[in-house]
Amino acid sequence: MGYAPVGGLRNDAKVAPRHLAVVRITHWLIAAAVLGLLASGIAILVAHPRLYWGETGAVGTGSLVDLPIPFIIGLSPWNRPIHFFFAWMLVLPALTYVAGGCLTQHLRKDLVPMKADLHWNSIAGVISHHLRWKRTSSDDAWTYNVVQRLTYLAVVFVLFPAIVWTGLAMSPGVTAVFPMMATALGGHQSARTIHFVVAALLVLFVVVHIAMLFLVGFTSHVSAMITGRIPQGRSAR
C-alpha cells in the first residue's frame, strides 16, 4: 500500500498514515489519464475497427480481426491529439510513481511478494477465495495478497511499458527516428494490434480492481487513497 508506521495514537478518533503522498497523487493522475485514454482511444478505434498484422493495413486489404463495431468516419483526427495528451499524462506520473516507489521502498515492501507465498497452493487459494466472491477480513483488507502483488507488478512493469512502446511505435514521427520500435514488433499495424490487446488487458485490470474495492470496502479504501489515512479501531469497511 505504501504506508508509514503508526505510533502515539491515544483514541479511536486518531488516524494513521497509510498511503504515501507519491502513491496517492500519481494514482489519481494515472486514473484520470486512463479515463481520457479510454474515451479517446475508443473514438479512434471506431473510426477503423479492424486490426492488421505487418506494416500496412487498409479497408481494401485483408484484416487479422474485424471488431464488431460500426465504422464512424471522421473521429480519429480529432481524438488523436487528445489521446496523445492523455498518454503523456499517464507516462509522467507513472515514471514518478516508479521512482518514488523505489526511493521510499514502497515497491519492495508492498508489491514484491515474499518467497513463501510464491507457490501454487498459496496463489490458487487466493484466486479461489476471490472467485467465490468472499469478503476480505478487516485485517487483510489493508494488505496486498500474493495475487494482487503479482498483478500490480505485471501492470507496472509489463503492461504500462508495452502500452507506451506500442503507442510510440504507431507514430510515424517517432519511427522515422527510431524505426526499430515498429520493426521489432512486426510493423506499424502489428504495433496497433498489440496496443489494442494490451489496452484491453488494462481495461480488464481496472474493472477487476474496482470490483475488488467493493469486496473489501469501497468507501474506506477510496477515502484512504485521497487522505492517506484510515480510522484506527474501526472496521475497514
pLDDT in tens, 161-198: 999 999 999 988 899 999 999 999 999 999 999 999 99
Q: pTM score > 0.75 for this model?
A: yes
Q: What is the DSSP letter of 53?
A: -
- 133 φψ region: left (φ > 0), alpha (ψ -120 to 50), beta (else): left
Q: For residue 55, name the pLDDT band (cuts at 50, 70, 90).
A: very high
The three-class DSSP label of residue 50 is strand
pLDDT at res. 158: 96
Domain ranges of the chain: 15-55+80-231
- CA dist 168 and 147 (Å) reads 30
Q: Tell me: pLDDT of 137 over 80.
A: no
Closest by Cα among 108, 89, 107, 97 to 21 = 97
DSSP lists the bridge partners of residue 65 as 51
Give the residue-averaged pLDDT of 48-54: 93
For the domain 15-55+80-231, what is the CATH superfamily, name and number? Transmembrane di-heme cytochromes, Chain C (1.20.950.20)
Distance between CA atoms of 130 and 214, rounded to whole angstroms?
Answer: 12
Residue 48 phi, psi (nearest 5): -160, 80
